[in-house]
Amino acid sequence: MANQVSVDLTSNGNVDIDKAIVAGQEAVDLTPNGHADKAGHLNNLGAAFWSWFNQLRDLADIDKAIAANQEAVHLTSEGHAKKATRLANLGNAFYSQFNFLGDLTDLERSIEAKQEAVDLTPDGHADRARWLNNLGNSLQAQFEQLGDVADIDKAISANQKAVHITSDCHAQKAQWLSSLGNAFLARFKQLGNLTDIDKAIVTGQEAVHLIPNGHARKAEWLTNLGIAFQSQFEQVSDLTGIGQGHQGSTSTLQAYRAVLEIIPQVVWLGHKITRRYQELSNLGSVINAAVATAISDGELTLALEWLEEGRSIVWNQILQLRTPVADLQVQNSVLADRLITVTQALENAGSSPSMYDYQNFKEKDSSSSAEHEAQAHHALAAEYKKLINQLRKLKGFESFLEPKKLSQLIPSSIQGPVIMINVHTSQCDALDKADHLYSQMSSILKMHNIRSPHRKLMLAESDSEDSVGDLQLILTNLWSWVVKPVWIALKSLLMVNKPIGCLPHITWCPTGQLAFLPLHAAGIYGSSDSHGAMNIAELVVSSYTPTLTTLLNPAVAHTELVLSQRMLIISQAKTPHQPQLLGTIKEAKLVQNKMGIENCTYLEGDKATISANSEEPLKSSFVLADGNLNLETLMKMSVKKAELAFLSACQTATGDARLPEESVHLAVGMLAAGFPNVIGTMWSIMGQDAPVVTEAFYSRLVGESKISEPKGSEGRLQVAYALHDAVQKLREKVGVKNFERWVPFIHFGL
């Protein structure tokens, strides 16, 4: 039985691994030492533990796999027909442990075992190509760690041999080609030889061509091909030179189109949200390269559609799971009911506490329970995909939940232009400067304690003077390199279409490191320029959005949005183990006075504060007396008839530098939960500043909104304008050059 289980594991991977391990362990325990089958049973047990490790990433499993494989190799005599197979399995186990822990000793042992397996396998043997491919992967990994060109040369040689001895009809030919392409790409990145990147693309295209649609690894290999195209595009900015040796720019666009199409498979709904963000950390630059390629080729509509499709992917998945199905209920109520059930279960499964902490690698519960949880989650994702395919066969639902076309995205700009800035090395001259500005700003904020949630109420005078000069230079450069060109291009349009008596309104939707920079405050301050204001804050009212789709979300875009007569105010001046926030008491009283005490529910004391977590943004939270309400929990919330969330706290819109395209912070979490307008902060604010902004904000808001008189789209909450005015009041109070105090306040939504 243990032998049969091992065969099943390697051939299709669809067996119950739990049963495989039980059977394998029993076979080992029942086989006496010295028995001819002992080594074989140990090898099979090691394979089962290795497979389980690849599912759950539990260190205990890979330790057991290595121990079993080592014993199997030890018990197998020289010249035994299975010696090479058992060495190869041992090499794979060491390689997996290296990828998990990064210990170079494991990688060295992997190469030793794999090389011996190759040496023991004669030409013509069915497994020789597999062992060569696996050896090449380990050698490439060692090259990427140590930079020794001899390693990548050996890797390419091994991969080329594997490809050469494998026929095109062989099921694994595509995998060997993909590995060879990755090796060429790795050498290109180190040495910059264009011949290598051409070969990487050609072999990657061959691999994709050989593999059928629906194959489990097609998504991975398409992504690898996209990365190769991206690398070539970065090296050769003139697109006409990219296609030499293969199929030119049309092929490049086709490859990127394929990458965009397989995003749902790479960032799979069957994975936990934490896992999806891990996958996305490598995908953002590929999407930006795809957009840059489309722009260079004159495909501007396609570029915008791709930029939208490739941003805030996890948030869009969450919103899709909440898509209303009223029309479907009329046509097929059974399908609609089942879709509702599955989407709700998927949303809960994606953001529920994981049995295993992927970030810290800490076991939280039994492996068996975690495996069952994962299997149930995978089954839900598979059923969801099946239901969507069924639904698209119905009349009127052919494009249900497919990426939006330009015609569907245009209404997002009804409240003013949306500025989407794609950042990529080949085209955006501001890229290196944006990276530099972001790095510089982060250093300044940390140096002057502005990033700290424990920030004191007042900076020391010397610190304040230093931060003023540094931030002023950043805002000046941001104006010159990014914002001023946008203003010049749109000035005429903005002035013609602006509301009467008001500044025009724009919404920023930047990518890359620009997503972390205060575009709304860019400018030259203290200038005596006779042509008027030289900072964007005096020219327009700014908002931010993670995507155009967010502005189209029914929760955000409905036209009868008016200020409710009910408001929940939560303030917590003293939280256990947190810094005191005494300004919140004054702030809450100001809001009550503006809104009317009878219209407010006020909770004070041990109720809430904010905790931003830059290392694990999903753990950023509202710190309550009885526990944390974190971003991961917010992702499961869907608030009906919400209108405004004013997060008057520190770093509620800071984000994760590793995921610039994903907007992983509390402010966007509130947008996704159903609040069409959210006020957040880019960094820590001062306790005495928040009441100033709050009072001015609600004074303007209540004065303009006409609580009981909705006026359709013209009567929408003027939240962006109210915040703009409030921040202007703070600027006047603290001085325009106290940038660290007024710049952090920003608006998301309409």
Interval 495-521: pLDDT, tens: 887 777 788 999 998 887 788 889 999
Are 69 and 42 within 8 A, CB to CB?
yes
Please give the Cα distance from 19 to 48 (Å, whole number).
Answer: 9
Alpha carbon of 215 to those of 33, 219, 258, 327: distances in Å?
42, 8, 14, 33
Retrieve residue 619's tokens: 């753990």
Nearest to 466 by CA among 443, 435, 449, 444: 444
| DSSP symbol at 404 | P
Are 601 and 567 within 8 A, CB to CB?
yes
Question: What is the mean predicted confidence (pLDDT) over 327-355?
Answer: 73
pLDDT for 599 equals 56
Retrieve residue 335's tokens: 């399908």
Residue 560 has pLDDT above 70, yes or no: no
Q: pLDDT class for 193, splitting at 50, 70, 90? A: confident
Alpha carbon of 144 to those of 147, 199, 368: distances in Å?
6, 19, 35
Residue 45 has pLDDT above 70, yes or no: yes
Retrieve residue 106's tokens: 């494991």
Interval 68-86: pLDDT, tens: 999 999 999 999 999 999 9
Please give the Cα distance from 143 to 125 (Å, whole number).
Answer: 28
- Residue 15 — left, alpha, or beta (φ > 0 → left; ψ -120 to 50 → alpha)? beta
pLDDT for 278 equals 67
Please give the Cα distance from 590 to 569 (Å, whole number).
Answer: 11
Question: What is the mean predicted confidence (pLDDT) over 459-477?
Answer: 64
> 359-373, 644-658, 686-700: lowest mean pLDDT where?
359-373
Q: Which residue has the higher pLDDT, 146 or 293?
A: 146
Q: pLDDT class for 110, splitting at 50, 70, 90? A: very high
Are 655 and 663 within 8 A, CB to CB?
yes
Interval 204-248: pLDDT, tens: 889 888 877 666 677 677 778 877 876 775 665 333 333 333 344
Question: What is the mean predicted confidence (pLDDT) over 109-135?
Answer: 95
Residue 415 has pLDDT above 60, yes or no: yes
pLDDT for 575 equals 53
- Residue 401 — left, alpha, or beta (φ > 0 → left; ψ -120 to 50 → alpha)? left
Instruction: Please name the helix (run of DSSP H) or strand (run of DSSP E) that holds residue 509, with its range, or none.
Output: strand 505-510
Task: Using alpha carbons only, give the angle 562, 568, 570 rounded to the nearest 5 degrees.
Answer: 140
Do the bridges between strand 567-571 and strand 600-604 make them parallel or antiparallel, or are there none, so unpaired?
parallel
Q: Hey, how many other C-beta atoms are within 10 angstroms of the C-beta on 213? A: 6
Question: What is the mean predicted confidence (pLDDT) over 480-501?
Answer: 84
Nearest to 613 by CA among 417, 743, 452: 452
Residue 4 has pLDDT above 60, yes or no: no
Which DSSP string do the residues of 448-474 spell out, in sequence order?
A: TT-S-TT--SS--HHHHHHHHHHHHHH
Residue 253 has pLDDT above 50, yes or no: yes
Please give the Cα distance from 254 to 711 (Å, whole number).
Answer: 47
pLDDT for 658 equals 54
Please give the Cα distance from 384 to 339 (Å, whole number).
Answer: 7
Q: pLDDT class for 283, splitting at 50, 70, 90? A: low
| Fold classification of 548-749 (topology level) | Rossmann fold (3.40.50)
Q: Indicate the domain borders of the chain.
A: 406-544, 548-749
> 43-52, 57-66, 357-366, 732-741: lowest mean pLDDT where?
357-366
pLDDT for 487 equals 92
Residues 6+ apart with CB under 8 A from 45: 2, 21, 24, 25, 27, 28, 64, 68
Q: Which residue has the higher pLDDT, 573 or 541?
A: 541
pLDDT for 564 equals 54
Retrieve residue 120's tokens: 């023991």
pLDDT for 619 equals 57
Retrieve residue 39's tokens: 């080594």
Interval 141-161: pLDDT, tens: 999 999 999 999 999 999 999
Mean pLDDT for the chain overall:
74
Global pTM reads 0.59
pLDDT for 74 equals 94
Q: Which residue has the higher pLDDT, 171 or 470?
A: 171
> 59-73, 349-363, 372-386, 671-685: lowest mean pLDDT where?
349-363
Share of the chain above pLDDT 70, in %: 63
